[in-house]
Amino acid sequence: MKKWFLSLGLIAIFGWYLFLRQSGISSAQTVTQPQNNDLPAPSNTSLPPTTDISNTPPITKTPNPTGLRDGTYTGSRADALYGIVQVSAAISGGKLTDVKFLSYPNDRDNSRAISQYAMPILKSEAIRVQNASVDIVSGATLTSEAFRESLSSALAKAGA
């Protein structure tokens, strides 16, 4: 008997919910702030005196240097579980111009396939963004994370 009363109660509550939802009545009420357009205007509307800047020399913007020193820097060895990733970063003109893989997971067929797929993507992304904050390559998460670690240490040596 208790199950019947509980079931009927739940059905009644659900029916009431549907009724309120369809009729557009909601339990939440919107509170609006009263608008008072009768406020007086501020009395102190004077502006501070302006400064004549006609004799001021123009500001010239200089490019923001990256702080990277030119050269080739070897990153630390990073464990990717199925092998070690180590890269070298080539810096020219203060920019990352090339990334070479010195070691990568390659002792199994699957590891070689994943590395061959991920390495060009990681390299081009790093050169594009000019840092080690590259996106993870799907299917090569561990290799991508190890690449980030190794490249970060190489760029740190370059002065980034």
* Helical H segments across 24-140, by residue range: 109-129
What residues pair up with 154 in beta bridges, in sequence order? none
Number of other CB atoms surrounding residue 121 within 10 Å: 16
Residue 118 lies in a domain: yes
pLDDT level of residue 23 (50, 70, 90 thresholds)? low
For residues 153 and 17, which has the higher predicted lDDT (pLDDT)? 153
Q: Is the per-residue pLDDT at 30 higher than 50?
A: no
Residue 107 lies in a domain: yes
Tell which residue, 132, 156, 159, 151, has the closest CA to residue 78. 151
CATH of the domain at 147: 3.90.1010.20
Half-sphere exposure of 7 (CA within 13 A, CB side): 4
Residue 10 lies in a domain: no
pTM recorded for the entire structure: 0.59
Residue 145 lies in a domain: yes
Q: Is the per-residue pLDDT at 48 higher than 70?
A: no
Predicted pLDDT at 140: 93
Percent residues over pLDDT 90 in the chain: 56
Number of compact structural domains in the chain: 1
Predicted pLDDT at 62: 43
Residue 116 lies in a domain: yes
Predicted pLDDT at 31: 46
Predicted pLDDT at 123: 96
Predicted pLDDT at 2: 73
Q: Which domain holds residue 121?
A: 71-158
CA pair distance 15, 12, nearest whole angstrom: 5
Q: Rounded mean pLDDT of the chain?
A: 80
CA pair distance 104, 155, nearest whole angstrom: 19
